[in-house]
Structure formats: C-alpha cells, structure tokens
Structure 1
C-alpha cells in the first residue's frame, strides 16, 4: 500500500474537480486528483457536450425542410443517425484533451485513475493508495435517477449515459421526464426523424416561468412531439421489440425505445462518508454557505452538494472554495445570480427570481417589464420572432430575468452579470447594443422599464416645456 501526503485531494475529475485541481496546483499547492471513470465527468462524456452536438445535428436536419421562407426550396433531409453519433463522438474527442490526464499531469498534479473512499476524517483510499490531505474536495457529480417503476428492470432503457451508444435511430422514442434533458433529447430525435412521446408526472419544464415554458412547449408540440403532462407512470413492460409504458390513469403508450430522464441522484454511495464524519441530506452531501461539509477539512461542490445541478455551478463552487482553501479568506456561495438554460428551439433561460418567486418575495414593490421578440429587427430577419423576455425589477434593480426565444442562453449572460454585481436598470440602460442584433432584446427590455417614466410623466413634460421656453 502506497501512502501519499498532499495539500489538496480532489475526488472526481468533472467540471468542478478539474477547476479546483488546476487552480490550486497553479497557485502553488500540491494536488492529488482521483478519477475512477472518465476524465471530464458527466458533462464532457454524457451530458452538456454530446447533447448539444446531437441538438446541432437536429437543427441541421430541421433547416433543410424549413428553408422555403428564406427563398430556398425545402428538401427532405436524409438522416444517417449513426453518422450523427459520429459527429457527437468527434465533438467529445475534440474537447477531451482539455480535460485529459496528460494535461493535468502537466500542471504538476498527481492523477490517480481510481475511485476514492474515506477511511478516516483525513484519509482516502484509492486502489493501492492511501492519501492524507489537509483539504479534501468531493466533486463526484451525479447520475441518472431511475425511479422504482414496476417492470423497469425487465425492459431495455436508455439514460443520458447510455443514449450515446445507440447507433440505430429509434422508430418511436418514449421519454419519461419533461425536464431539460428529456425535452432537449425529444426535440433532437424528432428532428432526426423519430416519433417522440414525452410523459411528465407534473408540468413539463416545471422549474421555469410557466408563461415562458409554454412558448417552448407550444413549439415542440407544433413540431409533432407529443408531450403529456400530469401523467404518472405505473408500470413498464416489453412485448417483442416494443416497450409499453402504462400510466396510472390506465392509458398506455408503446414505442421502440425508452429514455428515462426523470432527474439526477448525487454520487455518494461509494465514498464511505460515515468514516469521515460527513453528513448527507436527501439530495446530497450537507454543506454550509462556504461549501464545507460537517467535516471541516472536506468540501463538497457541484451536483454532489445537492443544490443546482449545472456544470457552470460546479465551476462557480470551485472558485468559492479555492479562495477559502488556499488563502484562508471567507468565501460564500450564493445562487441569486446563477443562470440556467434549456437548449431546445426556442431556448429557455433564467437568472435570479422568476416572476412568481419575485412576487412572493417582494409583493407590490415588484415591477415586471416585458419585450416581445417580434419587435426585434434581427429576429424578424432571421424569422425567429417567437419569444419573450421578462425582467423582474424592485426599486430600480433587477432581481430576476426570464427569456424564451432565439439565443436565450446567450442573452441571459447579461442578466447574470447584472445580478452578480447588484446593478441598477439605469446602468444597464447605459449599454449600447450594435444594430441589428438579438442582444437588443435585453436593451429594449430596459427601455420598457424607463419608457413610461419618460414618455408618460407630466413632470418630465413640464420640465422639457420650461427648457424649450426659457433656455436658448
């Protein structure tokens, strides 16, 4: 058994773990990194990267038979599903060197390709190695949640981890789960020629503003995707080469393939957390505002910490704990400025509070300003006029922004910046957007806030009248 002593031990080489390892090492700390599976974690290998690559394939197919409005004849796309998966694999391979073992060893990090488990409050065993560290970071991420549905263990099903191995296009894809993963993959497959049915136990895109979620859902349904809400799955069975999902209301849905996208579960089972005195909750490892666990030497970041489960959240957590671990400075994580996006077409994005949350928090102090995409000249030129932005404002400061429409995931960046720095609407108004861009949607939303104050104010009109009369 080999014994290793280090300053920082990172368990998990996904987005958060890699960020901590690289940052700590380059700032002078000795770092050991453990990864028993794939470098790059879920995002590179099974999540963000492959899903966006397949979405791009779907967009290319969709464009071919929806080009007539631009003066280009529609053609029926010839879809090679296996070639689309080759595109996905190529994208992963192109990005993989950035997350590779070789790159991180180049930073001076000792990379051990084994899973880690605690054997004491300061020691972790990984294969034939026992590592003692002053600070330990758990960044083991999450895995697909497979609900205990009757019969689920008797049928072949896909998750976001196994979907990428599929080489033959599904004839009819059944999707359990109407969240971002389920709907992104539903639209991508529908555009590539599959029939798709989505079953959601509550409301599809239920964490987002319902008005803006409806913009997305209406478009998905218009593309032929069947989205059935408030439908709980009771039983699943296989007959020949078909899979049938039975709902509690006695309806049934039959397809060729089943994708389960019903949520995520934090990866904690193999860590032996009790040995380190680390407590858990129903959603993951228990942490304080500084991402410290109940063992003061151990931090938990990203999905395993049980909060917002986004790749960029894990990266943000990494920055928070590096300040604390390396410099001994107080550092707390917050969520008020964290954005998220669902990469359907149109996209759906959120930062800060939704309208409903803002009303609960601020009551009559809240103002909601809106701007429709149909009034944006670039959106008109691109024929992308379906969409809406809403900005929630309290005493002149935004507290949230919701966007459904073309490039919503790009537009939300500005509002994350605004929320992170507690900026006023007047400061956003000082920004100049180039014309014609989709980015003007943000600027026009600010205009919708100030317009009534300027153009419908009797005081403003009196002041302007006096200036015109008395100042030469």
Structure 2
C-alpha cells in the first residue's frame, strides 16, 4: 500500500489534517471529532447538510408516523372510555409539518453550527485526485487523510415501464402535497412497512408488494405481529409476489404482479413507492480513477480500521457498510476520524459486537444481538425466555398490552446473546439490554435493579424474573422448604 501512495506526488506540507466528504451522520461525526481534537478539518457536501437521515429518512418518516399515530389513537378513542373524538385533517398540512420538523432539526447539522465548532464547510462536489489531494469548486485541497462518507441512495428496481408512471422513492416521497388515493408500496423491509402503515392510516388505499416475506431479518413471531397490524390498519399485504411491469393506460396506472401460484394481477395506483433498499453512493468522487476497490454488494472495501486500499483514505457510514443505520454511521465516523488522525500512534478496530436497531411500525420491533433464526443458522446453542407485554401494568393502562420481549441466553447462564422486543416503545426498552450486553451484564443484574412503577422498562425486569424462576436450584429449594417446616415446629 505504501508503494501505491509513492506513485502519487506527496505535498511537502499539508493545508489541513483531514478532509471529510459527505455531511450525513458519518461525515458530521468525523468532522466533529476532528475539530474537537484540534485538527484542521474541511467538510465537503454536494447537496444538503444532514444527509439522508435528516432530509429524506429518519426525521421525515418519524414525523409522518407521529401524525398517523394520532389518527389511530383518535379513531380508537373508545378504548380509552371516550365516546367520540372526531378529527379533521388536511394531508397537505401534515406534509407541511413534516418539512417544518426537518427545518427545526436542521440547525443541529447546519453549516453555521459546524463553522462555530471550527470545521471549514465547503458546498460542492468533491473529487479525490490523489491520496493527498481533493478537488472542489476548482480548488485543490491538500490533506494528511481523507474520510469518504458519501452515504447511499434508494434502489430503483429495473421494472419495465417504471419510467412512464408516477413513481417515488423514499427520498422523493416527501414532495407529495396531495394524498394519493391508491398507493402501491414496493418492498417489505423496515422502510416499506413503516410508510405503508403510515399512509394507510392517512386514508390511502395501500397495497404492499414483497417478493419474499416482510422484514426478512426478524424472527417469524415478530413479523407475524407486524403483518397482522398492517392488515388491521388497512394495508393489503402481498408477499411471495413479484413485480413484472408497469403500464399506463387511459384508465390510469397499474403495476402488474405475479403471485406465488403463477397468476397475474393488475394493481391500480396513483403513486408507486419504491422502497426496495439502498445502494452505496460511490460514483463521481474519483474512486474509479484511484482504483479503490468496491465489494460485490456495492460498498467500498475497507479493513477492520475502516481503511481503504490507501492507508490514509478511510470510508464510513452507508458507503462502507455493513449496516445502513444512522447510529452505526455515527459510530463508524468516530473510528474513522480517530484512526485517520492518530492511527500512526494508536488505532482502533470498529466494534460491531452489539448493534441495535428498531423498525418504527405499530407495534415497533427492536433487536440487538442474535435472533432465534440466526442462532439456529449459525449452530449457536441458546435458551429462550419470553415475557408477554399483556401482563405489564403500564401497557394495560396505556391500552397497548400487545407484544413480547424475547431473550436468548447461554444455556444455564444469564449471559445475553440477543433480544427481540415487539410492542409499543420497543426501541426505548431495548436500550437497557444494549447497555447490559455491551458491558457484560447478565439478566440477574437487570433483575436486581430497581425500576420505577408503573413504567414500560419494568418489562425488562420481569423477563429477567422469568429467567430466574426457570433456573432456581431445585436442590436448594428442597432444603429451604425443610428449613421453613422446621421453623414452624
């Protein structure tokens, strides 16, 4: 690798310590860390500060879900003893609110904030011209190290006729100002499930099409609850169904699909949402000219320290994989910055040991560590402990007593291998387990921790209690029983 770098002219001095390309979660974190470490850092962004999460992903989707959730609550007001709670709403105003939420959060990721932190921010398209130089807006910047954090873009599936119909991606759906009467959602992953449910609650006729099954990374028992909720909220869910072609006729637009039994069906729509995943954004930044390898799945090839083919060029976030989560991108951003600045003295391998994630459907699905399916596939021995949220006092008071917590442990021990939570506030409940797993704390420590009553996190203690009851030492209990009998005389 040193030989590769020696083929490029190395500057005698450098204008800056670090150039970061991309101002999403990974790039912002890397820039922040570098600035906090008193390095001279330049952040280059070709589009919007905040990247996909702020502008097209996490923030707008959760804002839309919040409005949709209110409508569900109002429509089910009788569950709370309220006879009527009529609601009038304007779809356009809901979308206005979505953009207002983005604008409210925008200053956290703004040029002005990062300038105040000591980061030079340049708006323009970056092009890496050597291991030491980056061109932007006709300028050549020299730098000791480079961090590539260019993110990802939605996959647009190669469906014949797609370009002739009104289709959106998870990036462009936020331009809607009028509610589509009929919406087809193509994809059964987290994004597809979240948006299909939200738009159904906003009175769209939603059909969700997935070629395999919903939420393929989750266990069947978790998926079953989500699928049932989608159907209850009005989504027509079509799994094992392939999209064949799109067509536009005088009568409107249609997606032709083929079901598992071979029959075809024409699904009419006003709008088609492609939610079929995302692919790393690697084109146009000079990677091809530099010969930086790309893995078959489209992400930049990196090592355990996030280094690319060139030791002083790093990649992090969606463009590097292996996870497409905002929190993982930020996690990687720290490692990329620290290794880029201090790697010659001390470097750190990225820790992927405990990766949490949440799908914000109703009910939510949150997980960290192994699922049952993964454990079985890998041949990992485990025990399963379950607690039903139907028994949780706070869930009952909130009319949300649905779902479960499932914990996988090492046989005979309280060491946590994985946790799956399905229910209201699952993402929040997961945090305690993530902390325990990260620091090697078992279920007995959670059981021995006082939890406020009545709260949702009590469920974590109760599932730990279920494990304890299943592992009480029978021989000791026999002696205790004899002791109490002796005490009675």
With normalisation by structure 1, the TM-score equals: 0.95
Q: 1:100 aligns with which of 107, 110, 132?
A: 110
Q: What's the secondary structure of 1:190's corresponding residue?
A: helix
2:454 matches 1:440? no
- Tell me which residue corresponds to 1:282: 296
Asked whether the equivalents of residues 366 and 426 of structure 2 are also in contact (C-alpha less than 8 Å), the reply is yes
Offset, 1:239? 2.2
Is 1:330 aligned to residue 343 of structure 2? Answer: no
Separation (CA, whole Å) in 2 of partners of 1:212 and 1:432? 28
What residue is the counterpart of 2:275 in the other structure?
261
Which sections of structure 1, spanning at least 5 residues, go unmatched?
Answer: none
In the aligned structure 2, how far is the partner of 1:104 from the partner of 1:235? 46
> Is the 2:404–2:422 Cα contact (8 Å) retained in structure 1?
yes
Determine if the alignment matches structure 1 residue 345 to structure 2 residue 338.
no
Structure 1 distance, partners of 2:306, 2:250, is 49
Among 22, 29, 38, the alignment partner of 1:19 is 29
Task: Please give the secondary structure, in 1, of the residue aligned with 2:284.
Answer: helix
Q: Which residue of 2 aligns with 1:423?
A: 441
Match of 1:316 in 2: 331
1:307 maps to: 322
2:176 is equivalent to residue 161 of structure 1: no
Query: Paired residue for 1:82, among 87, 92, 109?
Result: 92
Q: Is the 8 A contact 2:185 2:206 kept in 1?
A: yes
What per-residue deviation string (whole Å, max 9, x for no partner) do you get for residues 214-237 of structure 1? 111111111111110011111011
404-413 or 316-325: which moved more?
Answer: 316-325
* Contact 1:79/1:192 (<8 A) preserved: no
Task: Name the SS for the 1:293 alignment partner.
Answer: coil
Is contact 2:25–2:51 with CA below 8 Å preserved after alignment? yes
Q: Which residue of 2 aligns with 1:400?
A: 418
Residue 5 of structure 1 and its aligned partner are, at CA, apart by 2.1
- Alignment partner for residue 393 of structure 2, among 370, 374, 377? 377
Report the alpha carbon displacement of residue 19 of structure 1 after superposing the two structures with TM: 0.7
Give SS of 1:150's match.
coil
1:42 aligns with 2:56: no
Per the alignment, do residues 4 and 94 of structure 1 end up closer, same or farther by CA in structure 2, a change over 3 Å counting? farther
Q: Secondary structure at the match of 1:206?
A: coil
Specify which of 11, 18, 21 is matched with residue 8 of structure 1.
Answer: 18
Query: What is residue 144 of structure 1 aligned with on the other side?
Result: 154
Match of 2:71 among 61, 66, 79: 61
Secondary structure of the residue that 2:366 maps to in structure 1?
strand
Q: Relative to 1, partners in 2 of residues 1:460 and 1:165: Cα closer, same or farther, differing over 3 Å? A: same
- 1:40/1:99 contact within 8 Å kept: yes
Aligned residue for 1:17, secondary structure, equals helix
Which one is further off, 306-315 or 412-421?
412-421
Counterpart of 1:294 in structure 2 is: 309
Give the C-alpha shift of residue 208 in structure 1. 1.1
Q: Does the C-alpha gap of structure 1 residues 122 and 467 become closer, same or farther in structure 2, counting only changes over 3 Å?
A: farther
User: Cα RMSD over matched residues?
Assistant: 1.9
Provide the rounded CA distance (Å) in 1 between the counterparts of 2:386 and 2:282. Answer: 43
Q: Could you say what secondary structure the match of 2:168 adopts?
A: coil
SS at match of 1:251: strand
* Equivalent pair of 1:386/1:405 in contact (CA under 8 Å): yes
**C-alpha distance after superposition, 1:299-343 (max 9, x if no partner):** 111100131100001011122233323333231223331111111
Q: Deviations over 1:335-383 (max 9, x none)?
A: 33111111111101111110121233454x3111101110101111111
Q: What per-residue deviation string (whole Å, max 9, x for no partner) do you get for residues 107-157 of structure 1?
A: 121111011121122222112121221111111110100011111111121
Match of 2:403 in 1: 387
The alpha carbon displacement at 1:470 in A equals 7.3
Corresponding residue to 2:470 among 427, 439, 452: 452
Q: How many residues end up aligned between the 2 structures?
A: 468
Residues 318 and 324, structure 2, Cα contact 8 Å, conserved in 1: yes
Cα deviation, 1:425-444, whole Å, max 9, x if unaligned, reads 22222222111111111111
